[in-house]
């Protein structure tokens, strides 16, 4: 199977008050297309930093991040933005919808950026899939947390991404809503055949993926399959 993400000798360090702080240290792994993966670890272990680097939101201090065979280290920020628009979908813990755009407009943005046609119908279809077709003209502030995360899901799948990164997607939701959102993530992912990489400290959620990558103190300490094959 094709490798959609490859991480080779990845390190990230920060300079703070004259000291070098190593957040990620020599991480190596790869992600196969269509697979579902979870990165888990305690608070401060570096999992969000790793997600940011994998998605091309930040540049590594050393090492290689290859996304869909594109070495992100050789691209500038604008080119990485282009990669994200083309191949990546995002789901955030705090939803990160644009507050001044309606639900429909939020879903439309990635498609508009790509200059695609028939955007509105496609976006409405996605909103329908997440059960929010009747709330398409509402602003984020007029939606509940669960509804906002569903809009975020519709947006994440709108550009038919190769890979979907989710950062604690249920972190801000109650148990009942979390369950619905998780189901939607996995259903949509399966339907679209997208690769899923999610960061969580919720081991139940991680257990729903095919593979768990464990991070501790900036190091990869375990990389094991689950029984969800």
Partner 1 sequence: MDNFNLKRKINIPWLFEMAWRDSRRNRSRLLLFISAIVFGIAALVAIYSFRFNLEGDINSQAATLIGADLTISGTKPIEADLKPLLDSLGDKRSEQRDFVSMVYFKKAEATRLVQVRALKGEFPYYGSLETTPIQAGQTFRTGQNALVDKTLMLQFNAKVNDSIKVGNVTFCIAGVLNKAPGQTGISAGVAPTVYIPLQYLEQTGLSKKGSRIQYNFFYKFNSKVDVEKLTKRIDLRLDKAGLNYETIQTRKENTGRSFGDLTRFLSLVGFIALLLGCVGVASAIHIYIREKITSIAVMRCLGVKASEAFIIYLIQIIGIGIIGSVIGAFLGSALQFLLPSVMKDILPFTMSTNISWLAIAQGIILGIIISVLFALLPLISIRNISPLNTLRLNTDNAIINKDPLRWLVYFLILLFITSFSTLQLGSWVAGIFFTVGVSIAFVILTVVAWLLMKVMQLIIKNSWSYLLRQGFANLYRPNNQTIILIVSIGLSTAFICTLFLVQGVLMKQITLSSSGNQSNMILFDIQASQKKSIADLTRKQGLPVIQQVPIITVRLEKIKGKTSSDVKKDTTLNIPSRAFSFEYRVTYRDSITASEKVIAGTFVGKAPTTGDIPVSIEERFSKRNHINIGDHLVFNVQGVSMPVVVGSIRQVNYGKIQTNFQIIFPTGVLESAPQFYVLLTHVPSNKASAKFQQVVVRNFPNVSIVDLGLILTVVDELLDKIGYIIKFMSAFSIITGLVVLIASVRISKYQRIQESVLLRTLGASRKQIFAITALEYLFLGTLSALTGILIAVSGTWLLAKYSFEIPFAIDLMPAVILFFVITLLTVIIGLLNSRSVLNKPPLEILRNNA
- Which residues of the chain form contacts with partner 1 (CB under 8 A)? 48, 51-52, 55, 57-58, 68-70, 75, 77-79, 81-86, 90, 92, 96-101, 105, 109-110, 112-115, 139, 141, 155, 167
Residue 125: strand, helix, or coil: helix
Taking the complex as a whole, the smallest distance from the CB of residue 167 to partner 1 amounts, in Å, to 6
Distance, CA of 28 to CA of 123 (rounded, Å):
36
Q: Which residues contact 89 (CB under 8 A, 6 or more apart)?
A: 155, 156, 157, 158, 159, 161, 163, 164, 165, 194
Please identify, using beta-carbon distances, which residue of 78 and 224 lies nearer to partner 1: 78
Taking the complex as a whole, the smallest distance from the CB of residue 198 to partner 1 amounts, in Å, to 13
Please identify, using beta-carbon distances, which residue of 36 and 158 lies nearer to partner 1: 158
Please identify, using beta-carbon distances, which residue of 8 and 113 lies nearer to partner 1: 113
Taking the complex as a whole, the smallest distance from the CB of residue 67 to partner 1 amounts, in Å, to 10
In whole angstroms, how far apart are CA 63 and each of 9, 25, 59, 77, 167? 5, 10, 10, 17, 22
Please identify, using beta-carbon distances, which residue of 70 and 210 lies nearer to partner 1: 70
Taking the complex as a whole, the smallest distance from the CB of residue 9 to partner 1 amounts, in Å, to 21
Taking the complex as a whole, the smallest distance from the CB of residue 228 to partner 1 amounts, in Å, to 26
Residue 90: both structure tokens together: 């995002």
Contact status, residue 227 vs residue 64, Cβ threshold 8 Å: no
Q: Which residues contact 87 (CB under 8 A, 6 or more apart)?
A: 67, 68, 161, 162, 163
Query: How many other CB atoms are found less than 10 A from the CB of residue 121?
Result: 9
Please identify, using beta-carbon distances, which residue of 40 and 57 lies nearer to partner 1: 57
């Amino acid at each position: 199977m094709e490798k959609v993400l490859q991480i080779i000798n990845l390190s990230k360090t920060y300079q703070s008050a004259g000291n070098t702080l190593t957040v990620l240290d020599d991480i190596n792994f790869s992600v196969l297309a269509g697979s579902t993966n979870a990165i888990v670890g305690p608070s401060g272990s570096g999992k969000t930093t790793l997600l940011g680097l994998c998605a091309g939101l930040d540049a590594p201090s050393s090492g290689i991040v290859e996304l869909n065979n594109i070495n992100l280290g050789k691209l500038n920020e604008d080119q990485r933005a282009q990669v994200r628009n083309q191949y990546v979908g995002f789901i955030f813990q705090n939803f990160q919808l644009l507050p001044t755009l309606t639900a429909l407009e939020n879903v439309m943005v990635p498609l508009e950026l790509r200059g695609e046609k028939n955007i509105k119908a496609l976006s409405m279809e996605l909103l329908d899939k997440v059960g929010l077709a009747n709330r398409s003209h509402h602003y984020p502030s007029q939606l509940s947390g669960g509804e906002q995360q569903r809009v975020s899901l519709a947006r994440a799948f709108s550009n038919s991404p190769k890979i979907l990164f989710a950062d604690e997607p249920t972190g801000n939701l109650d148990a009942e809503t979390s369950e619905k959102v998780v189901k939607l993530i996995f259903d949509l992912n399966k339907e679209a055949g997208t690769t899923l990489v999610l960061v969580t400290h919720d081991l139940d959620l991680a257990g729903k993926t095919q593979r768990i990558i464990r991070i501790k103190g900036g190091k990869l300490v375990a990389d094991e399959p689950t029984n969800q094959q």
